[in-house]
Copies of this chain bind each other. A is one copy, B any other.
């Protein structure tokens, strides 16, 4: 019996106890929220890692996507991205490889990762079929379930499954004009499959079969938002909201079968629609944990989308989003490199913490208070140690030191804090 089914039977587990302890919460709070599906705990039963939790009352977590593309597939680079992401503070990793021997890549990444690993099994299905000279348009549910089963046995902790894109939700999408139609890779494959085969989405039709595999390994289903907006203009439209309704129903079905569910969210969203989107998700999905990409608050800043996403992510977290998928400066332009991965994780961690100051209060804010007390004392070693990127803080200050060791070169002797001291 997996830990989720146990919790529903009021039985605790080492994983739940670990979350309660590391998040500094009473065990019964975590237990009841976990059993209700408001907290998800990532850990494949076959994996030997510390579990990570997302959801109500927990710190906002950050996921970093790594993985090859058809244009660039070098295992060493991806393993270095993995290290860089974890070093920068990523709580989970998704391997989104779609180029090279992705099965081999994933095994290596899984073996090396100390944090939970997520995948999108549809990608491997597509890549494998292409390799076998078949079209993904001929995919059967068997092809897909085989990949899910294989990845489950390999120890994947959470999987994005695009079951919410259906004939009906596509109708809703088409009824309201978008600038960019479908921006989700998985969603675009399934929409084309449905159009060509004139059939319902097999990931929706055979949802129970998928759940049966996931339940066995305690894999969290991350219900993909195939119809997420890819443009500010397209946010919170009929297609997106219709899919969210379906994702709420699918999450309920998952829980009923002993599978933990989280909900994926956008994407490109204007600043003032983020709170609406988060509150709607919480209602429509019975408070299932919400996993958002960004959100990006403007479309006009390629090269800086870690910043457009940090803005949206901070607001989302403060309003109740539980889990942020990072966006790197390379988004919309190229596959991220190692430095992009680091920049993306840090921007997202800043957003998560800014949200947690609101969501968790003193528990989060004491980090800021510690930094500010060190600032007040002009204690630079302490300031470095409380910095989200200690090495960078140390390096930047040393690039242009003040003549006075206790100060920095911004104000020098005009330092307001030093002047306060003298009063």
Interface residues of A (CB under 8 A from B): 69-72, 98-99, 123, 126, 179-185, 187-189, 191-192, 195, 230-234, 268, 270-272, 297-304, 306-308, 310-311, 314-315, 318, 329-337, 346-347, 350-351, 353-355, 357-358, 365, 367-369, 371-373, 375-376, 383, 386-389, 392-393, 396-397, 399-403, 408-417, 419-420, 422-423
Chain B residues positioned under 8 Å from A192 (CB to CB): 419, 422-423
Can you list 14 residue pairs at the A/B interface with Cβ under 8 Å? A71-B402, A179-B376, A188-B416, A192-B419, A230-B417, A231-B372, A270-B357, A301-B350, A302-B393, A302-B396, A303-B393, A304-B392, A310-B310, A336-B410
Number of copies of this chain in the oligomer?
2
Chain B residues positioned under 8 Å from A416 (CB to CB): 182-185, 187-188, 230
Of A188, A298, A392, A415, most B-chain CB atoms within 10 Å: A298
> Are A350 and B70 CB-contacts (below 8 A) given A185-B411, A231-B375?
no
Cβ A304 vs Cβ B346 within 8 A: yes
Cβ A400 vs Cβ B335 within 8 A: yes
- Shortest A381–chain B CB gap in Å is 13
Residue of B nearest to A384 (CB): B302
Cβ B353 vs Cβ A412 within 8 A: no
CA distance A383 to B232 in the complex (A): 15
Chain B residues positioned under 8 Å from A333 (CB to CB): 393, 396-397, 408, 410
Chain B residues positioned under 8 Å from A358 (CB to CB): 270-272
Cβ A414 vs Cβ B357 within 8 A: no
Cβ B300 vs Cβ A353 within 8 A: yes
Cβ B304 vs Cβ A369 within 8 A: no
A410 partner, pick from B184, B331, B351, beta carbons under 8 A:
B331
CA distance A400 to B297 in the complex (A): 26
- Shortest A7–chain B CB gap in Å is 32
